[in-house]
Chains A and B, each alone.
Chain A
Amino acid sequence: MDWINIIQNTCKALTGVDAAYFALAAIGLNVQFGYTGLLNFGQAAFMACGAYGIGMTSKYFGIGMWWGIPIGMGFVIVLALLVGIPTLRLRADYLAIVTIALAEMVRLIVRSVRFKQYFGGSDGINGFSLHFRELSPFDPGAQYGIRPFQYSGYTVWTLLIGWALVAIFATLVFMLMRSPWGRVIKAIREDEDAVRSLGKSVYSYKMQSLIIGGLIGMFSGVIFALDRGSVQPDNYSRDVTFYILTALVLGGVAKVSGSIVGSMLFWGIFVFSDNFLRELTKDGPLKIFGVTVMQKIQVGAINYMLIGVGLMLLMTFRPQGIFGNRKEMALDAR
């Protein structure tokens, strides 16, 4: 068992690019789910908007890559209106059903052969982050940071931008939620009818919350795409939203710090268990009393199973997560 390697990988994951893009997506989901009580199960679709916006502009439209961000924002707004208009007047679970459907449909469309000329089919769009990397002030060959938090030059650049965005949006959301707008949003979560009786348009506030959360989620997709230099449709499957939700609930719903710490912990735990299980099965299948319990190719399935179990236990026993306040988990105002 190579403990040093496991611990090193775990530490790197705590502050890695994966944690950064999860944190962005979780901050967005938190605006919708934590503060407003909207069950958006299609955050992956909003992330895909950003990623494909960047990918398509740099690859097909022949205009600068940064135009991808306004285009991605456009996608987000269109999708949010598409799911918001029919469902935001209805009970909470309708939004869940429609957003989960939307995420699946978006994935099917971008990976289809029919639209391959725009979205690149199941291969996605590749090799476009050169422009982004040229801007990097770091030496791509060198290693930066102190062990175990050591990353290559490219990664440090993405990390810098990613965590900067996390800080910006975290501050923004923190301030938004202390503003009059935020108070209305939180009041909608607590008691929709009371807010309506005060003459506020609940529908329009919910729509704004859905769009703002989606836009923050879009930046998550941008960072993810820039880091990989590619957009793959299957990176935006519906389960991604549930992993982000798990990270959010782990850190604490309706707390800005919760979505950041939750994402870091989520990746720390995930990478630790993944590395640990892979070490266990490195020299052939793991056997307990002669019975084969786990083979190398089953590690992934077991890891994701653990995420699901974690989500179930958290929701049952500590729905407020680590930092959350149980009073702010009024998720059952239906």
Chain B
Amino acid sequence: MVVTGAGKRTYRIVRAFAVVAGSLVLFGSGANVASAEDGLSIIASVQNQTVDAGVSQKQPVAGVTITVTTPAGSIIGTGVTDVAGLISFPIPARDNYVVTLDIATLPNGFTMIDSAKSVSIVNKDDFTTTVKRATFFTGSSNTSSQTLFNRMIQRGADGLRLGLVIAMCAVGLSLIFGTTGLTNFAHGEMVTFGGLMAFLLNVTMGIPLLISAPVVVALGGLFGLALNVFIFGKLRRRGVGLISQLVVSVGLSIVLRNMFLYQFGGRTKPLNDYSQQTVMRLGPTSITPRDLTTAILSLLVLVAVALFIQKSRTGKAIRAVSDNPTLASSTGIDTQRIIRIVWFAGGALAALGGIFRGLDEQVGFEMGSRLVFLMFAAITLGGLGSAFGALVGGVLVGIFVEMASLVVPSELKNVPALLILIIVLIVRPQGILGRKQRVG
């Protein structure tokens, strides 16, 4: 290789990194972290919770007196919640505090779920950002009245919903692996990108979600394409090995996650539209219209993806490249074009998954990286590199994880997914739909 050529290429790659990084900063959610270190505060929130067949509804409670004291008992502030059920207390330093709700000031008909929970302890270490939330719940809980069978049905339905989103995000991960051999550890950040873009358009700019969602999906696709064009495509052309590319994707995920944190801040925030929902009954389960809609949409998208891969010319080409890139390119398939399509599609699907996830829970800088592990479990279960494997694996992992939360505490509900990984790798390492390979 000519030295000057190498130098130029080096320069180009550095510039490419800079372009991707720069565009992200520009793109990034405008909702900047507003409060500086001196904006330390505790926000108390009082919510009335009604639980109907496992789905909880929350309504803010106004006019409740809240007091913040130090552990020693000296009063920092006292006040009454507003219409949104919120009251904010500025505090002098990151320290331990006690937030107390005055039960006598609850409006008529409201009671605490658990009277012991009218006091909330805020620890010094809880301040991951400058604002710490203390939430109080009123209303009676009737979860215990449900039978095990009903809870299983409900968990199964929730799991199906989660599984569809996992499948949607994992298809891209699996296809990228199939066509390029890259295990993309930054795929979770592509999901986060979708969620944060939706927040930018829907909340910061106030564009209705129905209009902004397609834009976000397109942006997600372009984001995936940009990662390929500016980073992984260049690495492939330089002949950087797959394991090195994997480590680069790890670095990329660190960069992106912290970029999101930098732009968006550490707190999770809800999207504007469809955040208030009433539960409706659907057979033995209850579900909000929003969740039902996203579940149906995910299903439609996944069927469309499956049909596309199975029937269309491009889809066949994708499968051919996954199967054997050299052979595919010798039959005249433009493999680089196929790889670009796969990255675009993967980014778009991940962004859509991010929007749905943001609707279901909230939007935050870590929303994708929490999901990435389930996505890996899904594609390992389904078979690395197989699109259909990712669909099947995603749904199964989602259902398994939610069902497992009947047995294990919900804080540990992702742990059984590790069990899936280990058992699958022992019993059938190629996954459900993967091809058997000769391995040591």
Residues of A whose CB lies within 8 Å of any CB of B are 37, 39, 41, 82-83, 85-87, 89-94, 96-98, 100-102, 104-105, 108-109, 112-114, 122-123, 192, 196, 202-203, 239, 242, 245-246, 249, 284-285, 292, 295-298, 301-302, 304-305, 307-313, 315-317, 319, 331-332, 334
Contacts and interface: CB of A to CB of B under 8 A. Distances in A.
B154 interface: no
Given A113-B409, A114-B409, A245 B415 contact: no
Contact of A203 (B33, B36, B437, B440): B440
Nearest to A332: B241
Given A312-B248, A319-B244, A108 B411 contact: yes
B243 A109 contact: no
B412 A108 contact: yes
B205 interface: no
Interface stretch (B55-63, B213-221, B254-262): B254-262
A296 B262 contact: no
B418 A101 contact: yes
Contacts of B437: 91
Interface residues of B, number: 57
Contacts of A334: 242-243
24 contacts: A37-B243, A86-B422, A94-B425, A101-B377, A104-B373, A112-B409, A113-B409, A242-B250, A242-B254, A246-B251, A284-B36, A297-B129, A297-B130, A301-B261, A304-B254, A308-B256, A311-B250, A311-B254, A312-B255, A316-B238, A316-B240, A331-B244, A332-B242, A332-B243
Contacts of B242: 93, 332, 334
Nearest to B255: A308
Contact of B17 (A93, A104, A297, A309): A309
B425 A308 contact: no
Interface string B21-39: 1000000000011001100
B381 to A, nearest CB: 11
Contacts of B123: 123
The 5 closest A-B pairs by CB, nearest first: A332-B241, A308-B254, A311-B251, A308-B255, A86-B425
Interface in B202-254: 231, 235, 238, 240-244, 246-248, 250-254
Given A85-B426, A109-B412, A298-B262, A90 B439 contact: yes
B373 A315 contact: no
B88 interface: no
Contact of A312 (B33, B252, B408, B429): B252
Nearest to A303: B258
Contacts of B377: 101
B180 interface: no
A302 B36 contact: no
B329 interface: no
Nearest to B10: A317
B251 A308 contact: yes
Nearest to A94: B425
Interface string B169-190: 0000000000000010100000
A41 B244 CA distance: 14
A98 to B, nearest CB: 6
Contacts of B243: 37, 39, 92-93, 331-332, 334
Which of B243, B246, B248 counts the most chain A CB atoms within 10 A?
B243
Contacts of B247: 245, 249, 311, 315
Given A91-B439, A92-B243, A334-B242, A101 B373 contact: yes
A270 to B, nearest CB: 13
Contacts of A304: 254, 258
Contacts of A92: 243
Contact of B246 (A93, A203, A305, A310): A93
Contacts of B251: 242, 246, 308-312, 315
B373 A100 contact: yes
Nearest to B13: A316
A305 B254 contact: yes
Contacts of A39: 243, 246
Contacts of A101: 373, 376-377, 417-418, 421
B17 to A, nearest CB: 7
B258 A301 contact: yes
Interface in B372-391: 373, 376-377, 380
Contact of B33 (A86, A246, A295): A295
Given A285-B36, A308-B252, A309-B251, 16 more contacts: A86-B425, A93-B242, A101-B373, A101-B376, A105-B418, A109-B415, A114-B411, A123-B125, A202-B440, A239-B254, A242-B250, A298-B262, A305-B255, A305-B262, A308-B253, A315-B251
A162 to B, nearest CB: 25
Nearest to A293: B25
Interface string B413-429: 01101100110011001
A37 B246 CA distance: 13
A307 B254 contact: yes
A82 B246 CA distance: 23
B148 to A, nearest CB: 20
Contacts of A242: 250-251, 254
A202 B439 CA distance: 12
Contact of B244 (A202, A305, A332): A332
A259 to B, nearest CB: 16
